[in-house]
Amino acid sequence: QQQVKQSPQSLIVQKGGISIINCAYENTAFDYFPWYQQFPGKGPALLIAIRPDVSEKKEGRFTISFNKSAKQFSLHIMDSQPGDSATYFCAASPNSGYSTLTFGKGTMLLVSP
């Protein structure tokens, strides 16, 4: 069973702080690593994604760090805001036309005012 292990399960961060969520994978065929954000009552939506040819990708306050040798990747949310409070899922898939996403179990982030 292909797995993506995500931690922590929940996280409380003060406004302005840095939120860090970690994921680890086993399948070396994985080469696409997206993060999805889900607000209460909504479906998940793609937030940011990375491929293993780079070690870091930044979009605004959101950064993915990728360590291919350790088979780990993480999401960093800089200057966390209450509006960032949501559930975050990491995922992975191979570079194949017939692949599906394997999701982590999710992290509930609460940013306190």
- Give whichever of 17 and 52 is closer to other proteins, judged by the CB atom: 52
**104 lies in the site for other proteins, by CB under 8 A:** yes
Site string for other proteins, 68-97 (x = CB under 8 A): ---------------------x---x-xxx
Site string for other proteins, 10-49 (x = CB under 8 A): ----------------------x-x------xxxxxx--x
N-term to C-term CA, the chain: 40
Report helix, strand or coil for 27: coil
- Give whichever of 14 and 100 is closer to other proteins, judged by the CB atom: 100
Are β-strands 10-14 and 107-112 bridged in parallel, bridged antiparallel, or unpaired?
Answer: parallel
Q: CA 14 to CA 112: how far, in whole Å?
A: 5
* Interacting residues toward other proteins by CB under 8 A: 1, 6, 9, 32, 34, 41-46, 49, 51, 89, 93, 95-101, 103-106
